[in-house]
Structure 1
Amino acid sequence: MALITLSGYPSSGKTRRVTQLKAHLQQRLQDPSYNGPKLTVAVISDDSLNIDRNAYDDSRAEKPARGALFTAMQRQMGQDTILIVDAMNYIKGFRYQMYCAAREFKLRVCTVYVVAPPEQCKEWNAVREDGRAYKPETLDNLIMRYEEPSSMVRWDSPLITTLWSEDDLPIDQIWRAVTEGTVKPPNAGTQGVPKAPTDALHTLEHTTNAIVAAVMAEQAASGGLGGAVALSLSATLKPRMTLPYRTVTLSEMQRMKRQFVTVHKKAITLGTVEKGAVDWSEESVADKFVTYLEENMKP
């Protein structure tokens, strides 16, 4: 249904905002006036995944921590869930990755930017008694490297900002974003590529060889008169094509066959960007090759 990404400095009060946000959303979903789909509100965070704050002390430990967060997020995404990701999400590239995953699941997206001055974050971090404080040098480093969200880029939009000094969230804006916002289609670059069947290469070679042989046989029988002919490849497969009014040599046929096979072999081995299912049956390959021959045979 929706993905809500929290972003902000470490120790800026994001978890407090998430607690408020979850309560507001659950209250609205249970309100008698709500007539939308039945939804649940879920939260994932470093704490729920038992990711220690020491993971942010160096980049080598931080990378798998972000990976664990991203994997958990993907597992909980769904059309029946409003998922809130309570983490710093301070790298714009990581927020973009989350945005692309949400598009794959056809979810609405929303970014909540929790703003607090660095001095306030350091003060709150120093007085934490839950064992989840950052080391002072780690906190300074994370604040310095923080990449602020921007409403000008699509992966941070819609961007809703809340200040540390405000008592509550702009819940009406967030509610509209997750229930009425635009659902963007999956990014073409992240969509799965249709795969060819395992016997596609064999079908390609066998069918094109059969057509070359059939064309040469038809020419020998007609004396190179050309015109419309039916190529008998099997009892059920007899594609029709128009031969030029001249004799097509075997070397010419072999050259066009090699060009056709090379192009389509690449599509089989590397995948294809064609939308929908790709037909690699004998009938389809025969029709494509016949069309290719007609277009490339000179009169």
Structure 2
Amino acid sequence: MPLLMLSGFPSSGKTTRAGQIKDYLESEKGKKVIVVSENEALGEDKNGVFSDSQREKEVRGRLKAEVLRTLNKDDVVILDAANYIKGFRYELYCGSKQYKTTQCLVQCPTPIEEAWNWNLERPEGEQYLREVFDGLVARYEAPNSTNRWDSPMFTVLPGDAPPLEDIYAALFLTKPPPPNQSTQTQPLSSTNFLYELDKSTQEVTSSVMTAQKTATAGEAIRVPGVDEAVCLGRKVTLAELARARRQFITYSKMHPVEDRQKIMLLFVQYLNSTLG
């Protein structure tokens, strides 16, 4: 399934756009469309979820798992969510590459106070609290079409109609990006793999701890031999890195990959998604 992600502030019209695109693809193009909804994943306590970083991560994890579970080459998955963290959008981009399918992003930029007023028009039990709303706006990492994981990107302003034909062309009339090392998981044989897994993750951990001694909080950290930087947005403790390393090793033993450089890249991506 091609993947279409929405992105925008709370109450910026994302669900409306998702419905318009779904109706068009189903009625005009005969496609099957599955909508993975953040609102459904949040349940009735979205203010509580977005006030608790651990619960928020758990919801993102469920959304990602549901999207990846339903991806294939034929139909469409629409992720109706804020998708406000660039690392999360990157993870889903890698997922679509792994499944060799296309993706695009629809951004819904809305003035903050207009979005807040739309929020107040919701039923009382479905409204964001002001402090939660403002917190999500402050944490929003706007998509950038120059990033490969945010491209192709379609910006739909309030009052405008989505460019439905262009969206269809991006999903069905273009070739998906070729999978690369970070999205392929070819098994390695054993003893050598376990040695490289332990050594590579330890090198990344050591690089991060050493760099943090002189880096400012939130500064990107380059790891030798890895193209992608560690971007955590804050300084992390050795205990946090050690715990993430153990979790990554456990997962990697079940999903071994091909070479040392790939292990290090995947571990950097894992740190960005779990600690960022």
Structure that is richer in helix per residue: 2
1:170 lines up with 2:160 in the alignment: no
| Deviations 1:166-199, CA, capped at 9 Å, x for gaps | 2x2111110110111231122312311323389x
Pairing 1:126–2:85 present: no
1:78 to partner: Cα distance: 1.2
Aligned residues with identical type, % of pairs: 40
Q: Quote the Cα distance in structure 2 between the aligned partners of 1:135 and 1:272.
A: 47
How many residues align? The count is: 194
1:140-159 matches, within 5 Å, as: 140-159=134-153
The answer to whether residue 108 in structure 2 is matched with residue 117 in structure 1 is no
- Structure 2 distance, partners of 1:5, 1:130, is 27
Is the 1:110–1:177 contact (alpha carbons within 8 Å) kept by the matching residues of 2?
Answer: yes
Q: Match of 2:179?
A: 186
User: Aligned equivalents of 2:150 and 2:190: distance in 1?
Assistant: 40
Alignment of 1:236-251 (within 5 A): none
Paired position in structure 2 for 1:56: 50
| Structure 1: gaps (5+ residues) | 31-38, 199-269, 275-299
Give the aligned partner of residue 38 of structure 2: 46
Q: Which amino acid aligns with 2:186?
A: V
Change (3 A) 1:272 1:172: closer
Distance of 2:258 and 2:111 partners within structure 1:
50
Structure 1 residue 134: Cα displacement:
1.2
Q: TM-score when scaled to structure 1?
A: 0.61
Which residue does 2:66 correspond to in 1?
72
Task: Assess if the C-alpha contact under 8 Å between 1:44 and 1:72 holds in 2.
Answer: yes
Do 1:76 and 1:83's aligned partners in 2 also have CA atoms closer than 8 Å?
A: yes
Aligned match of 2:273: none
CA deviation vs aligned residue, 1:32-56 (integer Å, no higher than 9, x gap): xxxxxxx411101123335441211
Counterparts of 1:224-243 in structure 2 under 5 Å? none
1:6-45 mapped onto 2 (5 Å cutoff): 6-30=6-30, 39-45=31-37
Counterpart of 1:112 in structure 2: which amino acid?
V
1: CA distance, partners of 2:181 / 2:26: 34
Which structure has the larger Rg? 1
Partners of 1:49 and 1:134 in 2: CA distance = 15
Distance 1:186 1:130, change over 3 A: farther
Q: Which amino acid aligns with 2:148?
A: R
| TM-score (structure 2 length as normaliser) | 0.66
Alignment-derived partner of residue 93 in structure 2: 99
Letter in 2 for 1:108: T
C-alpha distance in structure 2 between counterparts of 1:130 and 1:13, whole Å = 18
Q: Could you report, residue by residue, the CA deviation over 1:4-37 in whole angstroms, capped at 9, with x for unpaired residues?
A: 010000100100111111001112223xxxxxxx
In the aligned structure 2, how far is the partner of 1:194 from the partner of 1:71?
22
Residues 271, 8 of structure 1: alpha-carbon distance in 2 compared, 3 angstrom cutoff: closer
Deviation at 1:272, TM superposition (A): 4.2
Name the structure where strand makes up a greater proportion of residues.
Answer: 1
Q: Paired residue for 1:245? A: none
SS in structure 2 at match of 1:6: strand
| 8 A contact 2:3–2:102 mirrored in 1 | yes
RMSD of equivalent CA atoms: 2.0
2:41 alignment partner, SS class? coil
Q: Which amino acid aligns with 1:196?
A: S
Tell me, yes or no, if the aligned pair for 1:196 and 1:271 is still in contact at 8 Å.
no
Q: CA 1:103–1:123 in 2, change beyond 3 Å: closer, same or farther?
A: same
CA-CA distance at 1:143 after TM superposition: 0.5
